[in-house]
């Protein structure tokens, strides 16, 4: 069933073409760090939003994980004052740099090593009554860059370079090594997300696909063991206290509904626990338990729920904007 689950995800992605695309991500903390010299925090946040919008216009935004980081940096080249109008105007000449890097062992605070894939730069002007207003206006003018074919061409070239990067077996295997390192640290979410960041045309894609199956199996077994401990605690407390029996039984039924049946050994132990209190369940609890047992016997529905579960693991790993460039 796990094999079918992973296959279902891959099949769905291939139908939409998402996994044939290249995923890029942009991180808000990284943007603030890179622009701390010229921009204040609100301006850095505005830069993050504007570049995210710009990327979205040449691709499809979704949430997920990637090892390719887009870093925008706005350099303030000069600030001048003009008295030509009724009021004094401040002009800011700025230059926007976009850099796409392959980051290694990335975190939200820092990146340990990187390889530059592509760069882009463009002059931008801004105006206002103060220096801060002029710089903010320059950031707002980033939106106009999507009319420039240079941006689209930049991402098209970047995609080709990343595709070429993955065709090198050494580079491809490096991603798998990172996934294994994450697995060794029991960071299952990162390991699965790294596997899903490998494009389908990469030579290591099949290996990444197989690794994801193994990692997910390990993940649900460990998760089930944790849930099993909680079930045992609530079941024991339910037997000791008549006053709190309903509360603890509700918790047992709720946890049982969250356990992945494919964790067969652990799931069987959980069924033994609930069998010990099943006779004492009230009518509402019995209905919930019976309804859950029906969902487990409905294999198609179970398959859909598992699909949602593993997608959630991948999608929720890094809360950064991820752009899919077609």
- Apex CA 68: angle with CA 62 and CA 51, to 5°? 60
Distance CA 84, CA 173 (A): 60
Report in angstroms the alpha-carbon separations of 322 from 66, 69, 284, 290. Answer: 7, 9, 43, 40
Report in angstroms the alpha-carbon separations of 168 from 164, 175, 186, 242. Answer: 7, 12, 28, 65
pLDDT along the chain (326 residues), means of 10: 34 40 78 91 92 73 65 93 78 93 58 72 92 93 71 82 87 88 86 81 87 85 86 81 74 79 79 75 72 56 55 53 51
Residue 305, pLDDT score: 58
Residue 63, pLDDT score: 47
Residue 314, pLDDT score: 55
Q: How many CB atoms lie within 10 A of CB 105?
A: 13
Residue 199, pLDDT score: 80
Residue 87, pLDDT score: 73
Residue 311, pLDDT score: 55
pTM: 0.64
> Tell me, what DSSP letter sits at residue 242?
S
Report in angstroms the alpha-carbon separations of 66 from 31, 85, 86. Answer: 16, 48, 50
Residue 39, pLDDT score: 92
């Amino acid at each position: 069933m796990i094999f079918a689950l992973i296959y279902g995800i891959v099949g769905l992605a291939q139908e939409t073409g998402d996994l044939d695309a290249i995923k890029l991500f942009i991180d808000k903390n990284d943007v603030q760090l890179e622009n701390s010299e010229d921009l204040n925090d609100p301006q850095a946040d505005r830069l993050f939003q504007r570049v995210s919008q710009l990327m979205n216009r040449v691709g499809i935004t979704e949430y997920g994980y990637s090892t390719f980081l887009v870093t925008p940096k706005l350099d303030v080249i000069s600030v001048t004052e003009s008295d030509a109008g009724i009021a004094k105007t401040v002009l800011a000449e700025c230059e926007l740099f976009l850099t796409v890097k392959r980051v290694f062992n990335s975190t939200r605070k820092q990146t340990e090593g990187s390889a530059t894939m592509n760069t882009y730069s463009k002059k931008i002007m801004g105006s206002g009554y103060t220096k801060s207003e002029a710089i903010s206006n320059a950031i707002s003018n980033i939106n106009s860059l999507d009319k420039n074919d240079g941006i689209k061409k930049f991402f098209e070239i970047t995609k080709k370079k990343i595709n070429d990067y993955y065709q090198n077996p050494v580079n491809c295997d490096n991603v798998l090594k990172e996934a294994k390192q994450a697995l060794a640290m029991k960071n299952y979410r990162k390991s699965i997300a790294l596997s899903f960041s490998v494009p389908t045309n990469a030579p290591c894609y099949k290996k990444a696909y197989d690794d994801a199956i193994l990692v997910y199996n390990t993940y649900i077994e460990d998760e089930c063991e944790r849930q099993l401990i909680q079930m045992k605690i609530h079941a024991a407390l339910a037997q000791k206290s008549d006053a709190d029996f309903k509360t603890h039984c509700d918790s047992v039924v709720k946890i049982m509904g969250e356990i992945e049946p494919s964790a067969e050994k652990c799931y069987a132990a959980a069924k033994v626990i609930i069998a010990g209190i099943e006779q004492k369940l009230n009518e509402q609890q019995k209905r919930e338990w019976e309804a859950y047992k029906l969902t487990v016997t409905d294999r198609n529905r179970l398959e859909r729920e598992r699909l949602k579960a593993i997608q959630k693991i991948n999608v929720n790993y890094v809360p950064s904007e991820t752009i899919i460039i077609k």
